[in-house]
Amino acid sequence: MHFSLTEEQAAIQETALAFAKERLVPHALEWDEKSHFPVDVIRETAGLGMAAIYVPDAIGGSGLTRLDGALIMEALAYGCPAISAYISIHNMVAWMVGKYGTPEQIADWMPKLASMEWLASYCLTEPGAGSDAAALKTTARKDGDSYVLDGTKQFISGAGATDFYFIFARTGGEGADGISAFCVMLGTPGLSFGSLEKKMGWNAQPTRQVIMENCRVPASALVGGVAGKGFRFAMSGLDGGRVNIGACSLGPAAFAIDKARDYMFERKAFGKVLADFQVLQFKIADMATNLEAARLMIYRAADAMDRADPQASMYSAMGKRYATDLGFEIVNEALQLHGGYGYLKDYGMEKLVRDLRVHQILEGTNEIMRVVISRKVLGGNRG
């Protein structure tokens, strides 16, 4: 067992981090302040192979691993976690199309997803179905050679600004087996959006309801061409989403540590710089240690997915829970180290605290992560 990156992985990480520092860091505070979704900058990542990261190259993707993806998300999140998290969502949709789409769907959709000509949104959560996703109420009724969708999706990242909506709807009876997945394009009659949600963080990406009222799509929009498989699609995507949102907590934590370290050498109190106070030395030591521990958990989970480890779901849940909790704790401690200045917008610490708070909620709350883990442990199936 070794813990060093390969030359290729180091190059991938370096490319993503350089992009984050050049194209995201200088603008992140302004995008947050103005609630601006920088579509032009996001699309630049497609040219770096970051729009279909773990889609096989034979069908138009980059053919990289889940660990490669985690490295990319961590590095991009150093610049802005809201942007990195959206790119993760786009990649989840691209992977699902590549994994479950028919050959015709892959040929039609993948080039535009991989180039980010189409930006994608993932539409599972509903006003009354969050953690209990199998209880979703959106329906898709077969009508000749079409399906008619009716229902509302909640908390959808990119909604209204994106082009391709991967929507889960009920084609059958109650429960998971009655759920299917559909592609619905922006501009489809009957597709509309709620008002912009006013959020605590993640202001650099829009969040709206996605509303379908007598929204008619061709039968060819049924992902995979077979009804009743949608819930399996959704759950298979969540392991990767959990690894990625954990990775999106690592980058901001590293940024916060860098900023806190610089501040500790600039700021003086009682005649010496903050870095000379042992109590603050211990605090920064704990922050760095916690970041490294969380990083190892995420890399472990990503590697388990790449190896198709039977326990990959458990490791993903562990990594997501651990990294998002510690990531939030680290940026909050960095704010504290800045004292009153940390509370000011200009220093960027309060933005990170606001952005990372939601990471403990999405892709399955950290309470749900504990359910996933405990079922594995208590069921005796850890392996």
The token duo for 106 is: 């892959």
- Over residues 41-68, the pLDDT tens digits come to 999 999 999 999 999 999 999 999 999 9
Comparing C-alpha atoms, which of 58, 35, 53 is closest to residue 89?
53
Residue 363 is among the residues annotated as catalytic for this protein: yes
Q: Which residue has the higher pLDDT, 77 or 176?
A: 77
Task: Report the distance separating Cα 231 and Cα 181, nearest Å.
Answer: 8
Domain edges within the chain: 7-118, 121-229, 232-378
Per-residue pLDDT, 133? 78
- Over residues 140-150, the pLDDT tens digits come to 999 999 999 99
- The one catalytic residue among 126, 333, 350, 363: 363
Task: Report the distance separating Cα 315 and Cα 305, nearest Å.
Answer: 9
Task: Report the distance separating Cα 120 and Cα 37, nearest Å.
Answer: 14
Residue bearing tokens 């069921």: 379
Q: How distant is the alpha carbon of residue 276 from its chain centre? A: 38
Per-residue pLDDT, 11? 97
Domain 121-229 has CATH 2.40.110.10: yes
Give the number of other Cβ atoms within 10 Å of residue 131's Cβ.
12
For domain 7-118, give the fold: Butyryl-Coa Dehydrogenase, subunit A; domain 1 (1.10.540)
Pick the CATH number of 232-378 from 1.20.140.10, 3.30.360.10, 3.40.50.720, 1.20.1250.20: 1.20.140.10
